[in-house]
Amino acid sequence: MNWNSQDLKDSLTFFVFVAVTALCLSFTISIMVYRGVLIADPYTFVVANLFVSSCVAIPTATIASQHEFQLRRYQRQLESIASMDPLTGLLNRRFFRFAAEEELARQKRTGTVAAIALFDLDKFKAINDRYGHQAGDEVLKRVAEIVYAELRGPFDKFGRWGGEEFVLMLSNVTEADAGVILERVRERLASTIIEAGQNPVTITASFGFAMMHEGAQFDDVVKAADDALYRSKGRGRNCVTAATSGLRAA
């Protein structure tokens, strides 16, 4: 991960702090020496002392600020690695849950509603069995790219739930909005030819989603979305089912 403006600002601030501290310390010690030795020419002493102190303070501050900058960048890299699924680059299950909990907290302030959707690639095992797991991994990565391109930038969250199952959080949507977005994603997947190794394949997905209202429990919403997903499987796959409409239909 590259540096960002906040890292650079913090490092420059740290540089100034270390430089001023070192300069003041060096100058204070020199004044004590001057008073003890009683050098006859104070002006020459002050100029020479400032020069020597700067030669000590600036390199010290430079080294310290560079170390601080590298440490911050390394910490950000670790945070990024810890939050990502290594194959697809999406949020992993743990950090998706964290993002959803943050959204629930935001809903208390704004009164908005979000949707949680699970989708599963239909008959994905057949691709692994026929073309091998490496080809299957290529399909998973390509699916992640296709779906991500259909989402609304930073407003929506996208993660890998496990295996060939993925999870979405659509922020500030109605049930109708969520259905439209997921239908668009489903159609895009179904209409795209994906390279599985050297073999072109088509893949479909089954979707289930549930609305996440203020005060909801994340696990309960996921369970409702998962139930809706299995209803999609029962309807013949390659479709979108809402938990609420599915319950009413039952």
Tens-place pLDDT, residues 43-82? 666 666 666 666 666 666 566 666 555 556 545 544 444 5
**The dihedral formed by the CA atoms of 96, 156, 163 and 179, expressed in degrees to the nearest 10:** 130
pLDDT of residue 50: 64
pLDDT of residue 107: 87
Higher-pLDDT residue of 111 and 17 is 111
> Which positions are annotated as active-site residues?
164
Per-residue pLDDT at 127 exceeds 70: yes
Q: In order of start, what are the domains of the chain with their CATH numbers? A: 5-82 (no CATH), 93-249 (3.30.70.270)
Average pLDDT over residues 96-107: 90
Higher-pLDDT residue of 100 and 27 is 100
- CA distances 74 to 35, 66, 83, 90, 227, Å, are 46, 12, 14, 20, 41
Average pLDDT over residues 187-210: 94
